[in-house]
Structure 1
Amino acid sequence: MNVRFDLPPELSASAPPEARGLSRDEVRLLVASPSGVHHTAFGSLGDHLRPGDLLVVNTSGTLPAAVDARRAGHPIVVHFATALDDGSWIVELRAPGGPLLDGRPGERLSLAAGASLTLLAPATPGAARLWRAEVPVDVPGFLAAHGRPIRYGYVPRAWPLADYQTVFAREPGSAEMPSAARPFTPELVTRLVTDGVLVAPLVLHTGVSSPEAAEPPQAERFRVPATTAALVSWARTRGGRVIAVGTTAARALESSAPDGEVRAAEGWTELVLGPDRPARVVDGIVTGLHAPEASHLLLLEAVAGAPVVQRAYEAAVAERYLWHEFGDVSLLLRH
């Protein structure tokens, strides 16, 4: 990874901007391109876009994916990450200090309302953080009744699920919020469309991140509709820029374009963007600010180039931007 910076702990956003007296689109926006770095508010995003540019947004909704469990009589938390095709789930076992790495095949955990889950095998052979688990209940319904949004130590108190949904959320399925789109409001989207900026949907259901250790992203389920693929081609042939709203949208788009041409696609993606696989379709990205050593930084380099990302993060630290899902946002442009 080429991008290097130190993140002071006080720059982690500990609450939604609404709790700080701001509307969603009043968070700060850092715009970085080869021509320089600019600072503004997210509500001014349209000043940095052009008629014919295409914003590609993720319409996945956030699940209340954290639930209490008991393990050998001791309380822990289970994060439900990903639903698999065979009905099992990828889960993570957590204590207050971080992930529990001593799971055992066949281990049974007690959940609320008499439910349980059984660990089957590590999700990745040789790894210990994520497990494939059998859960003999309707998991979405169980989460709706007993779950809460996943949060990490930098967010000290609980917030309602509505605070973890974006204006584009239509299809529940993400363990964690596709947070790059959180600052969008209906009014802002209306202004952008009125000014000639295009908006196209796709779906990628996010799994759980690893704030304690840098890990490559897990396989994730995605869908790029035919209409979105057509809009991408239309914009590119007419000189418009394709701007992914979030690393999730970038991953899905690039997964549907192995040869540089976006086509309708659906399934699972294991694509990892980085120096060995630069972006072929995405010209820019709206994204939150990621922690040092996060694998998402490689994706940002793949889209905008390491020099642009490095300058952006140096400026964000110097100007005391706020990090993580409730923090400030950047627009990184390749050109």
Structure 2
Amino acid sequence: MPSPHLAPAATTLDFTVPPELSAPAPAEARGLRRDGVRLLVGRGGRAGAAPTAEHHTFAALPEVLRPGDLLVVNNSGTLPAALPARLPDGGLLTVHLSSAHPDPRGGHLVELRRPARAATGAAEYLPPAENPAHPGLRLTLPGGARAVLTVAFTSRLWYARLSLPAPLSDYLAAHGKAIRYGYVDRDWPLSAYQTVFAAEPGSSEMPSAARPFTAELVSALVARGVLIAPITLHTGVASPELHEAPYPERYRVPAATAALVAHVRATGGRVIAVGTTVVRALESATTPDGRTHPADDWTDLVITPARGVRAVNGLLTGWHEPRASHLLMLEAVAGRPLLAHCYREALAAGYLWHEFGDVNLLLPEGG
């Protein structure tokens, strides 16, 4: 049976993203540097203050932030997690592997998709009525590997036992490619899906809020007095079609990062999460009284406005679809007035969506 917390989330924002606002390619392929994408900075909206929006390029981030601010980044690296597969009857599929780490409750999570078609070049969603998944289904993978489905986790995801001829990371490097959706114009190399902070491979999809950072920009932030600290959260396979809430993911908050979060908050600084993955990791490691502790575990935390946030004061994130569960997290951080104002501004100004698109810095306390 699907997990009850994975029902599509209701949101309080109502908007439509025109197809032309889907970023089709990395910034570099569009004639920009990585830090040349657009940055919308939203401020205020709390305690009756009117929200405001400023338009920058991402390269201006050091000037936008204050000395003493702490950026917490996800250092998970992206895996080539899409694999071709063959059914027992010879039919072809694409398998998306959800992170390098098997869920301790049942093994590796996988999604079956239609193989790429000429129209989009990307593997396509399989509706439940057309999905061949069932317990015991055997899939033949490249290089003599196999996957056997065991039990459904959701209507989209299944647990699977993998039989591989090599360690998973080596196997994926030899036979996999980056997961790609239909709004991206072609297959791009795995390097296009890595952030400058990527140090620990394990994510099925890029922690994309950090993609615009460059080594030069990091140096400029440090020179400005902005602090940077890592967490690790290995992302699972997203759901652009179903907008499911996040499911369990492996994360780690190092002791040094937990201590720095505590120090910055105690001295009146701002803790700004770079991406929703960072919010999820930090909030999973923070007690109800606001104390952030080292952690190395799995999290199934779903952050909503009713739950609120305890560890972060701001969020740097990409733009999300109208029904995306992440909007609930964004509202928990920013409040609805600021979030709605930013999305109206982004749509009016033609900001680009998805992993190669533009970004939004939410600072609900202003400053």
C-alpha distance in 2 between matches for 1:197 and 1:118: 48
C-alpha distance in 2 between matches for 1:4 and 1:46: 32
Q: Deviations for 1:257-316, whole angstroms, at most 9, x for unmatched residues?
A: 032110101101011111221111111011011111101111110111111111111110
Structure 2 counterpart of 1:89: 108
Consecutive unaligned residues in structure 2, runs of 5 or more:
1-10, 45-50, 115-122
How far off its partner does 1:136 sit?
1.2
C-alpha distance in 2 between matches for 1:216 and 1:27: 27
Consecutive unaligned residues in structure 1, runs of 5 or more:
none
C-alpha distance in 1 between matches for 2:148 and 2:185: 30
Is 1:59 equivalent to 2:75 in the alignment?
yes
- Code of the aligned partner of 2:200: E
How far off its partner does 1:85 sit?
5.2
Is 1:305 equivalent to 2:342 in the alignment?
no
- Code of the aligned partner of 2:19: P
C-alpha distance in 2 between matches for 1:76 and 1:271: 31
Is 1:128 equivalent to 2:155 in the alignment?
yes
Structure 2 counterpart of 1:22: 32
- Does the 8 Å contact 2:231/2:257 carry over to 1? yes
Of residues 103, 122, 126, the one that matches 1:99 is 126
How far off its partner does 1:334 sit?
1.7
- 1:1-335 matches, within 5 Å, as 1-34=11-44, 35-71=51-87, 72-82=89-99, 83-84=101-102, 88-95=107-114, 96-99=123-126, 101=128, 102=131, 103-123=133-153, 127-137=154-164, 138-259=167-288, 260-335=290-365
SS in 2 for 1:84: strand
C-alpha distance in 1 between matches for 2:66 and 2:238: 33
- Does the 8 Å contact 2:103/2:109 carry over to 1? no
TM-score normalised per structure 2: 0.89
SS in 2 for 1:121: strand
- Does the 8 Å contact 1:92/1:99 carry over to 2? no
- CA RMSD in angstroms comes to 1.2
Runs of 4+ displaced beyond 2 Å? 85-88, 99-102
Equivalent pairs, count:
332
Q: Deviations for 1:229-283, whole angstroms, at most 9, x for unmatched residues?
A: 1000110111110000000001100100032110101101011111221111111
SS in 1 for 2:198: coil
How much identity, in percent, do the aligned residues show? 57
How far off its partner does 1:75 sit?
1.2
- Code of the aligned partner of 2:136: G
C-alpha distance in 2 between matches for 1:213 and 1:156: 22
